[in-house]
Amino acid sequence: MTDILMPALSPTMEEGVLAKWHVKVGDVVSAGDVIAEIETDKATMEVEAVDEGEVTDILVPEGTENVKVNTPIARLKDEGGAAAPKPAAKTEGAPKAEAAPAKAEVPKAAAPAAPKSENGERIFASPLARRIAAQNGVELKSIKGTGPHGRIVKRDVEGAPQTAGKGAAQPAAASTGSAAAATSGIEPRKAQSLAQMGIPDGSYDLIPLDGMRKAVARRMVDSIQNVPHFPLFIDVEIDQLMAVRAKVNKMLEPQGIKVSVNDFVIKAAALALKAVPEANASYTPEGIAMHHNADVSMAVAIDGGLITPIIRKAETKGLAQIATESKDLAKRARERKLKPEEFQGGTFSVSNLGMFGIKQFTSIINEPQGCIMSVGAGEQRAVVKDGQVVAATVMTVTLTCDHRVVDGATGARFLQAFKPLIEDPVAMLA
C-alpha cells in the first residue's frame, strides 16, 4: 500500500485546499495521470500520480481546506499487490466523500472555522464564494451549491439575497470573523483592538483572510522590514512610443496580437538590465547573485491579492511574443491556473498602475529581487525644449532598489539605459 501525500507545490506552501478529485475508489492509475486539483495561495494546480496502482481509499474529501503538506490524502494499492484491511470508519467514509462531501467526516486538516449548517454538518464552498458571501451578508447555509458534489461556488452566491437585516448580519459577520481569526494565524486581540481604538464591535464586517492575502501580507511585511530600500524617480516622454505602438499594432492586427505600453516597458527594462547587469541581481547571505537572464515579473491584480507571472529571458523576445505571453499569463493568473515556475523565480519586477490614472507610486520590493519598477500614467505635461514650452506625453517611472544590492549610482545608470529605449522605441524593434 502507498499513501498519496498532500504535495508541496511551491517552496513556501504549508497547506492548501483539496479542490477536486479526478479519481474515485477502485480506479487504476498510472504514473503521470492527473488525480486531483489543489488550490494554493497563488493558483489551482493539477496533481499527478507518481506510482501505479488501484485507488483503495480517498482519505480527504474534495473541498477540504487547510490540508497540511505531507498529510495522506488517498491510498494506493500497488499494482499486483494486496490491499491492507480497511478500518471500518474509512470504509464507510470513502464512498461518502464521492457521493456527498458535505456529509463526509472531515479530517483534522480541515479548517475548524468552515461554515456549518444548522445540523452541524460542514458546508463546502470555494474560498471565492465564501468571500463574496461574507461581503454581501449572505449565509452559506441558505444556498444550494451547484458545483462538484454540491459545492457552493461563485455563481451560487452572486446575487443571492441577504438572509438577515444589516443590524443582525453585522454581529454574525464579526463573530464568524473572530472564529476564523483564531484558526488562520490572526490573533483575536487584533480584531478586538479596533474597539480599543474607538471602533465599536458590530460597526464593521470582518472578512477572514484567505491563503493568498495572508501570504501577500507576510511577504510584504518581511520585505518592508528587512530590505533597506530607496526610490529613484524619472520622467520619460512617450509620444514616439505611442506612435510606434499604433503602427506595430496595425501590422499585428491580422494575427490578433495587440502590444500594450506595458509590453514596451518590459522589453525596455530587460534590455536595460542587460546593459547594466549590476541591477539584475539578488542579495544572498553568501554573496550577490548576478543573474544571467532578465526574467521580468509583471504584477497582476487578481481576486483577493496579487501575483507576479514571469516573462522569461525577456531580453531575447520580440514585442509580439512578449505581448502574447503577458496576455496568456495574466489570463491564467486571474483563473489561478499558473504553474509555480511561472510565477516564482523572477529577477526584476514591473508594476503598472497607469491604466488606473495613478500618476506616481512606489512599490515594495519583491524579494529576493534587487529592484522593482513602478509605472505611472502617461499624461500631457508642459516641458521645455530648446527654450520653448511645449506639450508632451510624460510618464513617471519609479525604481525601488534594495540598497544591499543596487546602490544609487547603479540604479541611476539603469534608468539612464531605460529612458532612451522608451523615448525612442524603434531600437527595440530590431
Residue in the block written with cell 496576455: 327
Q: What pLDDT is stored for residue 425 in this prediction?
A: 95
Q: What pLDDT is stored for residue 208 in this prediction?
A: 81
CA 101 to chain centre: 27
Residues 6+ apart with CB under 8 A from 322: 259, 263, 266, 267, 311, 314
The β-bridge partners of 45 are 38
The β-bridge partners of 390 are 383
Question: For 62-102, what is each residue's pLDDT tens digit?
Answer: 888 888 888 899 988 865 554 444 444 444 444 443 433 44
- Thinking of the domain 2-103, which architecture would CATH place it in? Beta Barrel (2.40)
Q: What pLDDT is stored for residue 167 in this prediction?
A: 36
Q: Give the type of residue at 295.
A: D
* Domain 228-429 CATH superfamily: Chloramphenicol acetyltransferase-like domain (3.30.559.10)
Alpha helices in 85-229 (DSSP H): 88-99, 127-136, 154-157, 166-183, 188-196, 211-226
Residues 6+ apart with CB under 8 A from 53: 2, 28, 29, 76, 77, 78, 79, 81
Cis preceding-peptide flag for 368 (omega within 30 of 0): yes
Q: What pLDDT is stored for residue 349 in this prediction?
A: 97
- Distance (Å, whole) CA 160 – CA 136: 9
Instruction: Give one word for 155, left, alpha or beta, with left for phi > 0 and alpha for psi -120 to 50.
Output: alpha
Q: Please say whether the beta carbons of 309 and 329 come within 8 A.
A: yes
DSSP state of 253: G
Residues 6+ apart with CB under 8 A from 391: 380, 381, 382, 383
- Distance (Å, whole) CA 17 – CA 26: 23
Q: What pLDDT is stored for residue 252 in this prediction?
A: 95
Report the interhelical angle of 408-423 vs 239-252 (nearest 10°): 60
Domain assignments of the chain as residue spans, ordered by start: 2-103, 127-215, 228-429
Does 292 participate in catalysis according to the annotation?
A: no
Residues of the chain with pLDDT under 70: 11-12, 41-42, 78-122, 126-128, 147-149, 151, 159, 161-193, 430
DSSP state of 277: G
* Torsion angle of C-alpha atoms 91, 93, 97, 102, degrees rounded to 10: 160
- Fold match, 2-103 / 228-429: no
Residue in the block written with cell 519609479: 398
